[in-house]
Amino acid sequence: MGHSHITIHNKAFRPYLSASRLDEAVAGLAARLSADYVGRQPLFVVVLTGAFMFASDLLKRITEPCEIVFIRVASYEGTGSSGVVQEILGLREDVQGRHIILVEDIVDTGTTIHHLLPSLLSKSPASVEVATLFFKPASLRHPLELRYVALEIPNDFVVGYGLDYDGLGRNLPDVYVAV
């Protein structure tokens, strides 16, 4: 891992988690998921764009037969009381009776998951769980049960390994934190 600071959009970041540490955390999570979903043929629903690198490394290690689909979440101002409505783009699969694992790069406020879950549950899956690379418990604004968390981190701004700062930094193999 490069032990030097980097700059993205004039913001300084320092090394935070090495590619090998991330690899270890992802391997541990994949082992848990593989054990928990034996014989259930889960459908991994990967939330783009941030989760692409995590999803790739995670799914290479899932030992059970499974399917993978990619979705995008569009948020727009709605007329409902929540103000922001999340729409799922790209989920064309019939998820009725399926075991769904929603793959996220990071859960901080929990707003995205909070809005996605009712939409997914309305399609009558057998189960829905969330697998996230990072969880920031200090930022959570919605009650969420997260069974599959690779790493819990403080409320810091991180970039790399799929996570971006205004579009840049996703390609970094390590994770950096804002200084």
- Residues acting as catalytic residues: 108
Residue among 155, 139, 52, 40 at smallest CA distance from 98: 40
| DSSP for residue 147 | S
Q: Which residue has the tokens 């991180």?
A: 158
Residue with tokens 């406020």: 109
Of 132, 126, 125, 127, nearest to 147 by C-alpha is 132
